[in-house]
Chain A
């Protein structure tokens, strides 16, 4: 699979994923589990709510001491990892 050819902006997270506030993520369809840091949880929940990339970026820079470019890079990287772990319906 060619990750770079996927437009991550239109991808949706798998519906049945469960995440706790402490950052424990469970994929019931595979049995795999993951650990996220607090910002990872925030990114994940914003994605779960169906927010667009722009909405997520503006929400994060509103709440955190960080610039837009850094968040954009991190979001791109984070979504690619979700694809890598098959947590996104690509």
Chain B
């Protein structure tokens, strides 16, 4: 029998002459056939499409690398896993196994960390929303409470009046680090004296134990020098607390905000070319602290709440092509079975998307849409892709941070999530949502149950 040739869609693409982009944007024709040795098509066959996949190996590698980078530059370093970045229990447990504490910003996350087995004194409680009950729980568990506003400080003072032990607290400090926009909605301002006011109140009222200072200067920070400024200002506070009150703070928490290698929308260069390496952030922070003038024996611990930079590239979203179509101006459009409902970060990034099958080297400019019946459901506005056909598969890269925690149960059910262990074995870590599961908490009043159409 005659062997037939492999088919792909016919393509015709205009060649435009003009100024070349010196660096060019990469064409994504290189297929990603495997993740940690497991075939992508096998994962989709087994667990359905779309599918989130996390690489345990990559998570551990990223963490160990970051830890080494900071510990080789500063003597006392402690990471706390930012739960909101990805609070899948399996993911949190990997970080806890590596020695990371938990950093939480709500009662929900706090209880999740407790249930994961994190000791209360190793759960850092951040965020503007803490009720008296939340604070009492944190006090009981000896958790460091990071105070966001004066109202919280006064409430904590009131709660502490009835206790025998002093609650452990830090204040969150916001500041001008030379970047725009300045994040000043959280914590107390450094420049206008709010931070000192809060510190003076805590120490002179003597109902709370000031154990640390916390800042978080922004998110997806592309300028490491901003961290150098921030660390200097934090050190300045700590050293002056020592001078004024003869009291050393145990730690300086520099928060998170380190960028991942994703490409921000509208940026000219690829994220892989422009995003600073974690070494650059580490150098900026640790140099400032080391040179700040602390006594050798009283160097504070450096706490880090890095989320995105530790997990973004460990997460993949696997999907399937539903259909192709032409838009009114002749542009190609491809509809995928995942969209902004489960890949929220499409609003911020031009995610790298790879085909899974070998589809040749000819590409066409394509808009990638998600499956929602919503105009905003655009995965990539413009990407050069080989000719995808219905049934072909694609992989979205750098989706490990925020997508699972910010995904919406909107229009369709959220997919299953798999983690591939360090030996290359996949484990289901979250099952696909079901209609029953979604409706479990819904109640319908009796008089609405009967209708005739």
Query: Separation in Å of the B325 CB from the closest CB of chain A?
Result: 9
Given contacts A37-B11, A42-B10, 17 further A-B contacts (CB under 8 A): A33-B15, A34-B14, A35-B11, A36-B11, A36-B12, A36-B362, A37-B360, A37-B362, A39-B10, A39-B11, A63-B4, A64-B5, A65-B5, A65-B6, A66-B4, A77-B324, A82-B12
Q: How many Å lie between the Cα of A35 and that of B387 in the bound state? A: 14
Contacts of B387 in A (CB 8 A): 37
Q: How many Å lie between the Cα of A43 and that of B360 in the bound state? A: 17
Interface status of A25 (Cβ within 8 A of chain B): yes
Q: Number of A interface residues, CB 8 Å?
A: 29
Q: How many Å lie between the Cα of A37 and that of B4 in the bound state? A: 18
Contacts of B12 in A (CB 8 A): 25, 34-36, 40, 44, 78, 81-82, 85
Interface status of B330 (Cβ within 8 A of chain A): yes
Q: How many Å lie between the Cα of A63 and that of B387 in the bound state? A: 19
Residue of A nearest to B386 (CB): A37
A 61-75 to B, binary, CB cutoff 8 A, 1 in contact else 0: 001111000100011
Q: How many Å lie between the Cα of A74 and that of B326 in the bound state? A: 11
Q: Are B5 and A40 in contact (CB under 8 A)?
A: no
Residue of B nearest to A60 (CB): B7
Q: How many Å lie between the Cα of A52 and that of B407 in the bound state? A: 49
Interface status of B13 (Cβ within 8 A of chain A): yes
Q: How many Å lie between the Cα of A46 and that of B132 in the bound state? A: 77
Q: How many Å lie between the Cα of A44 and that of B10 in the bound state? A: 9
Cβ 8 A contact of B7, one of A34, A35, A66, A75: A66
Interface size class of B (residues with CB under 8 A): 10 to 19
Contacts of B8 in A (CB 8 A): 37, 39
Interface status of A16 (Cβ within 8 A of chain B): no
Contacts of B384 in A (CB 8 A): none
Query: Separation in Å of the A81 CB from the closest CB of chain B?
Result: 6
Cβ 8 A contact of A64, one of B4, B11, B14: B4
Query: Separation in Å of the A67 CB from the closest CB of chain B?
Result: 9
Residue of A nearest to B8 (CB): A39
Q: Are A65 and B326 in contact (CB under 8 A)?
A: no
Interface status of B141 (Cβ within 8 A of chain A): no
A 36-60 to B, binary, CB cutoff 8 A, 1 in contact else 0: 1111101110000000000000001
List 28 A-B residue pairs with CB atoms under 8 Å apart, sorted by A's residue number. Answer: A23-B362, A32-B15, A35-B11, A35-B15, A36-B11, A37-B10, A37-B11, A37-B387, A38-B360, A39-B7, A39-B8, A40-B362, A44-B12, A63-B4, A64-B6, A65-B4, A66-B4, A70-B7, A70-B389, A74-B9, A74-B10, A75-B10, A77-B326, A80-B326, A80-B330, A81-B12, A81-B330, A85-B330
Q: Are A63 and B362 in contact (CB under 8 A)?
A: no
Q: Are B14 and A85 in contact (CB under 8 A)?
A: yes
Cβ 8 A contact of A40, one of B10, B14, B15: B10
B 370-397 to A, binary, CB cutoff 8 A, 1 in contact else 0: 0000000000000000010100000000
Decide yes or no: A39 and B4 within 8 Å by CB, A33-B15, A85-B14 being known contacts.
no
